[in-house]
Structure 1
């Protein structure tokens, strides 16, 4: 599968993102570049139209006072206007920056001040209202541009606000007056110019602005396509938050480098339904996405006839055996190959077609580790799921499984052009053309990050005998028990989360006599389980406190303990938490990672109770924070359970 972008690799690396967009227009101007679902209808933008919108946006921003070196912040759901504004700003020498749409006003104010943002683009009134709330704290912001005019009537008389359509009109008029100006602005860009600020996940405090260059993004896209070829006819669904590097690397890097089509769903809520209509050829998602899809599959099977359930259980075992051969690239026995084919045609093909993954050639997961069992499950049903590993500071991907060499306990081998080594302390170090020049206005942090010319990941790991990278955990998160034996809390948490009944888990046990856990049940799967057994409940808190649910979780923990590789990996005490861990409460990052230190401090009383073996119940006050900032306190009793034989 030959892609014109890969054939011109050296040339593309000498371009900026706007220059590469122009190159795409020359080579495939009439091909669909973007597609957006709006009011049930898919609207298409060709590469030529894409470039025109970028041009009008860039010149329009310039007319509004946006200057070279200025920064525009993007806050909103995934819509074509996000790349229009981002690349438009980059075209005139500016910098774009993504902020998660779930970010609260106080944090937005801090981020806008830190990044010295001069303009903000919001997709709707909800996001605009957040900026209005902090207006007196962001004096550098000259304009707030919005895409959806609904609810904006009260702001119409204030020229601080501006409809994106008016920006387009200003830009179109400027281009008509001086048609040569825009090309000159685009030509002035250099591949090593900083084009975007990508915020880190903020596990230890306010996010840092990672400076990324045009070359950083384009190099990553080209290297990924070299390892896993993509055709310019391939489809991709953009449903991950644009502020996350996982989405940017596809929208900026992969799409520009390979010419694939980016599809924007109608809304976050309809993304999975829209995925069925698109039938993407490749997709990328955080582990939570694949865990959710796995739960949906489990529910479909659970709701089907007894014969379907029996066939599923039989063929999933066949599929798992076949998957081990496919993942290793070994020749599969003929009899197993026939059985696996029958299972795929009879059970799994219709199943993955219902989800929208039938045309999928490759699926990637990253951002956090995914349990080996979940990998094997997807490979067993015919979804070619592979692990990638990287970080914001290297444009998301630096290591990846190759087809026929998927080892569930590793993250694969380095991408072409990426070097890897392990420091004497066990830290993973990387080097490539995708590595950031540093953090915005944080020279000391940047020096630590890039000490010795290598990107310091902060993760512990090693390279196995097959040349694959094995990630153990964050260096700061690796734990040791009372006897000094090392274990990874993330590894055990992933083991727990493979259970369809468990949504999230937090492992404790550093310098303690045993391992313990706080567990979140999956409200959908466990709710269905409870309904099938006639167990009534009202809220998540009520469901989580049911003794029958505790017995269910006990069985899941016991099963994991039975498979534990070492005795000190076994979980001795656990409690089912009365609320779901939530990013609005500061317990999870915007990408769904546990903020371990914050959680440990917030639930210190529960942590202490887990290590008081004489305590089986404790009254606690549950504090809830809602999206509008209001809080509520509810008193409840939490039970603690001790596993037998541990």
Structure 2
């Protein structure tokens, strides 16, 4: 197959066949780069496939086989991605977990399926796995680690380095020249690709096994919808346990031969992105918000001339982009202004943040703020929204570059059918839809109706085919006066403020709506520093009157978009962030509403009984795993 020719008949493709194709035809092209000690180390497709095969052979030698799972634990590392592919070649379950997963969460995974082995990033993650074993959990006979530092004197059973596993695997492969071909052809399209978990907003996360057919179908759908091209340069920084990362960094990368770039650490992502300048970039709204805040803060700290130039061009580009989003012309002078702005302002900003080569930029997971969305479009980055879920392998609908509206998520991707249930729920059908929750027939029956996936989201299709998502249908609530509202819709709009990180709107069965909010410590802390507002901790900063004024502005702005019966009347700023370790939000930062409402019943009562303040004793889980308390009196503030 010639370079640049897209596969047409990929319905029966498997990871093994694609690895063989890439090694054979594109063997000298770069498959993955990983930054280590400041140096980017490259592996070609030929080298990458050999490492995957050696890992698969080694794992099989140690007893990994269909029906068993291999836990993948850590931040993004090249070897962890190779390990996931190797497990898939064997027909077993590759099960990535969030690097911050707690002991309880890992024990829950062990209760679902036999986790025969684990591939861990470093000593911290190895310690976590060994702790699970010591707690009496069955399984995890073998623990393979990538980074050797700190593990030289460990003598636990089954503990080995990645290099040792690869050595065993290569020896096995060299014993029989046919074993490479056997491993590449062993798995079938309906065999497991990945074992992920639902977000768990309403209870324990449910197991979601996606087949190789599922994830490759999703990759084809995304490509045909124009989400990405062949040979993209991407940055692998999103959590490996999130379906969005897997869909792009593994499935699409394999099918369309992306070059995957793995940053050195999570705290070097911004710098590493600038060095790589990816052509495709997917980030949650919070990440786009944080980058915007950094840009704005940097400009405010710059010279008067630079500030004037920035505002001169940026204000005009923003106004032009807003007109476009409203279906109007950008203006006759806009092309000239765009060229000048690109040379003086827009181009240097994009270069500084590694966005100079971006062709395909996406946001997903929740709604993005209008100011943020318009800013990037004005900067010349064709930012688009997409919609998907774990159960449909991440990709179901997305905006086209020139068909962008703030309130929609775009049209269904080719290969995806959408219909609206009589209840208002969005239903999806595609080859990328999973077969059901792992060993949960009742939950599967609720989620699947024939081949149709019940998304759990309320929404509707516009006449032009654009899909509008309103929020979780289970969260459609009513006030005492019968007014219908979706808390998540209002919470997302509160989070459009750079100063609000999380929010919980309450008011079901009550006369009024109120909210609990958590400030964004980084954004508010910088604002406080610039404006001379003293503070000693998150708890202290969150209760300052000056900060309350910032929050008040955000509430006023949201209320303008709400009907009078649904306007927020009071709020309280929490003394700590909602934290996944405390069970208040999921690892993907989705609110666990029941937990929050049960934990903060006193706060909710005070929001409605006329109290001026409420005393809170909030649970905090520290990095050591120890649990403490934050005690504070919180003012009840009127909007």
Query: What's the TM-score bracket when you normalise by the shorter of the two chains?
Result: over 0.9
For each residue in 1:321-345, what CA deviation from the matched residue of structure 2 results, as whole angstroms up to 9, or x when unmatched? 3224655787543223333443343
In 2, distance between residues paired with 1:564 and 1:453? 38
What's 2:207 paired with? 209
Report the alpha carbon displacement of residue 427 of structure 1 after superposing the two structures with TM.
Answer: 0.5
Determine which of 386, 389, 392 is the counterpart of 1:391.
389
For each residue in 1:304-363, what CA deviation from the matched residue of structure 2 results, as whole angstroms up to 9, or x when unmatched? 234444444443332223224655787543223333443343322222221111111121
Determine which of 527, 530, 551 is the counterpart of 2:528.
530
SS in 2 for 1:439: coil
Report the alpha carbon displacement of residue 590 of structure 1 after superposing the two structures with TM.
Answer: 0.7
Determine whether 1:171 maps to 2:169.
Answer: yes
Report the alpha carbon displacement of residue 501 of structure 1 after superposing the two structures with TM.
Answer: 2.1
TM-score, length-normalised on structure 1? 0.95
SS in 2 for 1:134: helix
In 1, distance between residues paired with 2:476 and 2:344? 44
Determine which of 563, 566, 572 is the counterpart of 2:563.
566
Go from structure 1 to structure 2 and tell me whether the alpha carbon gap of 1:571 and 1:229 turns closer, same or farther (over 3 Å shift).
closer
Moved more, 549-558 or 34-43: 549-558
Kindly indicate whether the alpha-carbon contact (under 8 Å) linking 1:371 and 1:491 is maintained by their aligned counterparts in 2.
no
Determine which of 620, 632, 637 is the counterpart of 2:633.
637
Determine whether 1:627 maps to 2:623.
Answer: yes
Report the alpha carbon displacement of residue 138 of structure 1 after superposing the two structures with TM.
Answer: 2.9
SS in 2 for 1:428: strand
Moved more, 574-583 or 258-267: 574-583
For each residue in 1:161-191, what CA deviation from the matched residue of structure 2 results, as whole angstroms up to 9, or x when unmatched? 1111111001111111111023123223211
Determine whether 1:89 maps to 2:87.
Answer: yes
In 2, distance between residues paired with 1:87 and 1:427? 35
In 1, distance between residues paired with 2:340 and 2:95? 49
Kindly indicate whether the alpha-carbon contact (under 8 Å) linking 1:32 and 1:261 is maintained by their aligned counterparts in 2.
yes
Report the alpha carbon displacement of residue 68 of structure 1 after superposing the two structures with TM.
Answer: 3.0
1:445-594 matches, cutoff 5 A: 445-561=443-559, 563-594=560-591
What's 2:249 paired with? 251
In 1, distance between residues paired with 2:213 and 2:389? 16
Name segments (4+ residues, structure 1) moved above 6 Å: none
1:47-446 matches, cutoff 5 A: 47-136=45-134, 137-155=136-154, 157-228=155-226, 230-324=228-322, 332-446=330-444
Kindly indicate whether the alpha-carbon contact (under 8 Å) linking 2:19 and 2:184 is maintained by their aligned counterparts in 1.
no
In 2, distance between residues paired with 1:87 and 1:529? 45
In 2, distance between residues paired with 1:486 and 1:345? 49
Determine which of 25, 28, 35 is the counterpart of 2:26.
28
In 1, distance between residues paired with 2:486 and 2:416? 26
Structure 1 unmatched runs, 5+: none
In 1, distance between residues paired with 2:471 and 2:179? 50
Kindly indicate whether the alpha-carbon contact (under 8 Å) linking 2:582 and 2:619 is maintained by their aligned counterparts in 1.
no
Go from structure 1 to structure 2 and tell me whether the alpha carbon gap of 1:71 and 1:64 turns closer, same or farther (over 3 Å shift).
same
Report the alpha carbon displacement of residue 60 of structure 1 after superposing the two structures with TM.
Answer: 0.6
Report the alpha carbon displacement of residue 437 of structure 1 after superposing the two structures with TM.
Answer: 0.8
In 2, distance between residues paired with 1:158 and 1:546? 50
Kindly indicate whether the alpha-carbon contact (under 8 Å) linking 1:572 and 1:642 is maintained by their aligned counterparts in 2.
yes
In 2, distance between residues paired with 1:452 and 1:222? 23
What's 2:608 paired with? 611
In 2, distance between residues paired with 1:577 and 1:266? 34
Report the alpha carbon displacement of residue 414 of structure 1 after superposing the two structures with TM.
Answer: 0.6
In 1, distance between residues paired with 2:433 and 2:542? 44
In 2, distance between residues paired with 1:165 and 1:257? 27
SS in 1 for 2:266: coil
Go from structure 1 to structure 2 and tell me whether the alpha carbon gap of 1:575 and 1:308 turns closer, same or farther (over 3 Å shift).
farther
In 1, distance between residues paired with 2:507 and 2:156? 56
Kindly indicate whether the alpha-carbon contact (under 8 Å) linking 2:71 and 2:95 is maintained by their aligned counterparts in 1.
yes
For each residue in 1:538-587, what CA deviation from the matched residue of structure 2 results, as whole angstroms up to 9, or x when unmatched? 101111111122122223322332x3242234221011111112111111
SS in 1 for 2:475: coil
Go from structure 1 to structure 2 and tell me whether the alpha carbon gap of 1:392 and 1:33 turns closer, same or farther (over 3 Å shift).
same
Kindly indicate whether the alpha-carbon contact (under 8 Å) linking 2:193 and 2:215 is maintained by their aligned counterparts in 1.
no
SS in 2 for 1:438: coil
Moved more, 414-423 or 358-367: 358-367
Moved more, 294-303 or 99-108: 294-303
Kindly indicate whether the alpha-carbon contact (under 8 Å) linking 2:219 and 2:251 is maintained by their aligned counterparts in 1.
yes
SS in 1 for 2:52: helix
Report the alpha carbon displacement of residue 637 of structure 1 after superposing the two structures with TM.
Answer: 1.0
In 1, distance between residues paired with 2:183 and 2:256? 24
Kindly indicate whether the alpha-carbon contact (under 8 Å) linking 1:232 and 1:261 is maintained by their aligned counterparts in 2.
no
SS in 1 for 2:404: coil
Structure 2 unmatched runs, 5+: none
TM-score, length-normalised on structure 2? 0.96
Kindly indicate whether the alpha-carbon contact (under 8 Å) linking 1:504 and 1:520 is maintained by their aligned counterparts in 2.
yes
Number of residue equivalences: 637
Report the alpha carbon displacement of residue 110 of structure 1 after superposing the two structures with TM.
Answer: 1.8
In 2, distance between residues paired with 1:90 and 1:635? 48
Report the alpha carbon displacement of residue 482 of structure 1 after superposing the two structures with TM.
Answer: 2.1
For each residue in 1:124-147, what CA deviation from the matched residue of structure 2 results, as whole angstroms up to 9, or x when unmatched? 111111111121433222211111
SS in 2 for 1:19: helix
In 1, distance between residues paired with 2:630 and 2:208? 40
Kindly indicate whether the alpha-carbon contact (under 8 Å) linking 1:376 and 1:408 is maintained by their aligned counterparts in 2.
no
